[in-house]
Amino acid sequence: MMKIPRFIVTMMIVGTGLAGCSSRQNNETEITKTSEAQAMLKTLKSLPAQHKFMFGHHDDPVYGIGWDGDENRSDVKDVCGDYPAMMSFDLGRMEIFGDKTLDNVKLDRIRKEVVAQYERGGMSSFSWHVDNPLTGKDSWDVTDSTVVKSVLPGGVNHDKFLGWLDKIAGFMNSIQTADGVKVPVLFRPWHEHTGSWFWWGQNLCTAADYKALWRMTYERMQENGATQLLYAYSPGTEPKDSTAYLERYPGDDIVDLIGVDAYQFDREAYVQSLDNALRIMEQVGKAHQKAIAVTETGYETIPDSLWWTQTLMPVVEKYPVSYVLVWRNARERENHYYAPYPGHPSAADFVNFYNDPRTLFAGDMKTIK
């Protein structure tokens, strides 16, 4: 049983009178997750035993190849007839802009889509390509290795950064159904930290500071009452064994799902590294009782017409994954897409992947146990 942090106790006392709290509890119970978040986690964990996994796509319903902002549209749906079961969105730069993200998607639109996805039985997750709070540049600015330190307690950017976390929590808390239920979502901050291309990456901070960053993030979300969140830990494929995979793991009391972000450049290397990562994650997932998922993957432009059934499926079918998510179909950047669109050479193979009884799309979610 985890130690109950002081702020939770405070929240339990002040939180008992809050409106719209769908899983209100009395002040003898520890509030760590809403009942909706618990149900979401239960579903994620139950899928592998049913030999099923969810297919996911980033920014799926907000833009695609040749379109931007249309309603009720999705490249995935245009190809196979259904939305992905998992959608993901990014919150990068909302901490700066307030109303839109770094990929120029309005927060109002994301909120609406996350609610719609929940109501059709699907799930949503969020990554956060957060700006570098020390230099004012983007999350890929790795010119300074004191940035993580600067946001931790005692650091020059601590207060400013808590403000950014509050904005994230405020947005998450604003995603509610018409009945005032906060929609449960998977939050996946500080991703790909085993590489060194983000300011929170491997060579940019110590393991202790990275873990402290996670804990501070989690605690601030809890303090803001964002108990509808599940949390995903998502390294890249750099760790070659479970010790390396867990080197910066923030703790079982925070993390709900463990993942990997793995992209194909060379087929052999991809298959090998994804397979190795999943083998490690299967062990870690069992030992720590966590769901596992391929939190980001893909082959940019999918220049292989049989990629879905001949490359992706043969690796992921060997492991108890809850979902597999491909990255976005950029409308503003040429040749930066990871899901097929009508007429794409891999569309027919994607339909075969869709028809495989093991893959779940949004319409399948109401039928699973």
Angle made by CA atoms 244, 145, 168, in degrees to the nearest 5: 80
Q: Of 103 and 349, which CB lies nearer to ligand BMA in the complex structure? A: 103
Nearer to ligand BMA, 92 or 236 (CB): 92
Residue 234 DSSP SS3: coil
Q: Of 75 and 349, which has the nearer Cβ to ligand BMA?
A: 75
Burial of 190 from C-beta contacts in 10 A (0-12 / 13-18 / 19+): buried
Closer residue to ligand BMA (CB): 232 or 360: 232
Closest separation between CB of residue 92 and ligand BMA, Å?
Answer: 6
For strand 86-90 and strand 123-127, is the pairing parallel, antiparallel, or unpaired?
parallel
Q: How far is the CB of 70 from ligand BMA (least distance, A)?
A: 19
Instruction: Report in angstroms how near the CB of residue 89 gets to ligand BMA at its nearest.
Output: 9
Using the minimum distance from each CB to ligand BMA, give the nearer residue, 329 or 359.
Answer: 329
Pairing of strands 67-68, 63-64: antiparallel
Q: How far is the CB of 335 from ligand BMA (least distance, A)?
A: 12
β partners of residue 55: 324
C-alpha angle 118/124/142, rounded to 5°?
160
Question: Least CB distance from residue 304 to ligand BMA, whole Å?
Answer: 20
Helix, strand and coil percent figures for the chain, each rounded to 5: 40, 15, 45
Nearer to ligand BMA, 7 or 140 (CB): 140
Q: Rounded CA gap, 25 and 149, in Å?
A: 36
Q: Supply the DSSP string of 54-76, one letter for each residue.
A: EEEEETTTTEETTEES-SS--HH
- What is the closest distance, in whole angstroms, from the C-beta atom of residue 285 to ligand BMA in the complex? 25
Q: How far apart are CA 229 and CA 70, in angstroms?
A: 28
Q: What are phi and psi of 262, to 5 degrees?
A: -140, 125
Tell me which residues touch ligand BMA (CB under 6 A): 90, 92, 102-103, 129, 328, 333
Which residue, 182 or 331, has its beta carbon nearer to ligand BMA? 331
The distance of closest approach from Cβ of residue 168 to ligand BMA in the complex, given in angstroms and rounded to an integer, is: 15
Residue nearest to ligand BMA (CB): 90
Query: Cα–Cα distance between 151 and 213 in angstroms, integer?
Result: 8
Whichever of 189 and 225 has its CB closer to ligand BMA, that residue is 189
Closer of 307 and 327 to ligand BMA (Cβ):
327
Q: How far is the CB of 58 from ligand BMA (least distance, A)?
A: 7
For residue 90, the minimal CB distance to ligand BMA (Å) is: 4
Write the CB contacts of 14 (distance below 8 Å, at least 6 apart in sequence): none
Closer CB to ligand BMA, 65 or 152, in the complex: 65
Smallest distance, ligand BMA to C-beta of residue 129, A = 5
| Dist CA 124 CA 237 (whole Å) | 23
Q: Is 158 helix (H, G, I), strand (E, B) or coil?
A: helix
Distance, in Å, from the CA atom of 307 to the CA atom of 353, rounded to the nearest integer, reads 10
Per the listing, tokens 């959608």 go with: 87
Q: How far apart are CA 328 and CA 76, in angstroms?
A: 11
